[in-house]
Amino acid sequence: MLKAVIFDLNGTILDDEDNYTDAFRYVLHLLGVETGNDFTHTRGVGVKENWIDFKLRYNIKTKKSLDELVSLTQKAYLKEFDKVKLRKGFLKFVKNLKLLGIKTAIATSNDYSMVEKFFDKFGLEEYFDVVTSAEEVSLNKPSPQIFLLTAEKLGLEPYECLVFEDSEAGVEAAHLAGMAVVGIAKDGKSDFKKAQKVIHNFKDFKLLPQERVIN
């Protein structure tokens, strides 16, 4: 029986991946790198990991450390944070989970400081039993480490948890952890082959209260 739902934060609870794309573009521009319309960043792996990729992809030469590049990106993101919204249907969905007595958690590749920003803006801290952030694990997604730790903190087995993720790395991590996973696809399109179900937003998902299974 399903006993807990674990959510990724950015791109899953928050409809904000385009905001992070803009933040990365801004910092790349400061470094003299101009990006085209096809520019993308890798979802789900963390800001620092993206900068490791960008430095190789664009052959960036800079005296700025990875931590400084991460800080610049987070500052650029937070400048537009007032425009960030919850993914459609999330608030009603998480409230229903609590009414059903299902535990909830956040497992994010972002720092806990960003989780605090989320709580401050939307006032939803009371709806989550557990939060696991990047500082608590040694390996980011697609390693299953963050989901296994979250299940441990919830006092549950992995098979008792359902994960919502918007990235290939996150879906893979949940799968490797032995958890069922629902993929949230940008514009309703995705190749989440290891997800049990793929949705566009939380209005597309129903949890049957009697069996508590994916429908």
Do residues 22 and 45 both lie within one domain?
yes
Question: What's the Cα-to-Cα distance from 205 to each of 11, 55, 92, 196, 201, rounded to whole Å?
Answer: 16, 38, 11, 12, 8
Do residues 73 and 8 both lie within one domain?
no
- In sequence order, what are the residues at sequence separation of 6 or more whose Cβ sits closer than 8 angstroms to the Cβ of residue 132? 105, 106, 107, 108, 146, 149, 150, 153
Q: What CATH number should be reported for the domain holding residue 169?
A: 3.40.50.1000
Encode 135-159: b = buried (16+ Cβ within 10 Å), e = exposed. eebeebbbbbbbbbbbbeebebebe
Do residues 153 and 183 both lie within one domain?
yes
State pLDDT tens for residues 80-113. 899 999 999 999 999 999 999 999 999 999 999 9
Lowest mean pLDDT among 38-47, 51-60, 69-78, 88-97: 38-47
| Residues of the domain holding 167 | 4-15+85-204
State pLDDT tens for residues 135-169. 999 998 999 999 999 999 999 999 999 999 998 99
pLDDT at 208: 54
Do residues 69 and 92 both lie within one domain?
no
Do residues 55 and 115 both lie within one domain?
no
Examine residue 197 and state whether it is found in any structural domain, yes or no. yes
Examine residue 211 and state whether it is found in any structural domain, yes or no. no
Do residues 137 and 190 both lie within one domain?
yes
Do residues 98 and 191 both lie within one domain?
yes
Do residues 160 and 78 both lie within one domain?
no
Q: What CATH number should be reported for the domain holding residue 23?
A: 1.10.150
Q: How many domains does the chain have?
A: 2
Per-chain mean pLDDT for the chain: 89
Asked whether 184 and 12 are in contact (CB, 8 A), the reply is yes
Do residues 99 and 164 both lie within one domain?
yes
Do residues 141 and 111 both lie within one domain?
yes
Q: What is the DSSP letter of 134?
A: G
Do residues 29 and 130 both lie within one domain?
no
**Confidence (pTM):** 0.86
Do residues 93 and 173 both lie within one domain?
yes
Examine residue 68 and state whether it is found in any structural domain, yes or no. yes
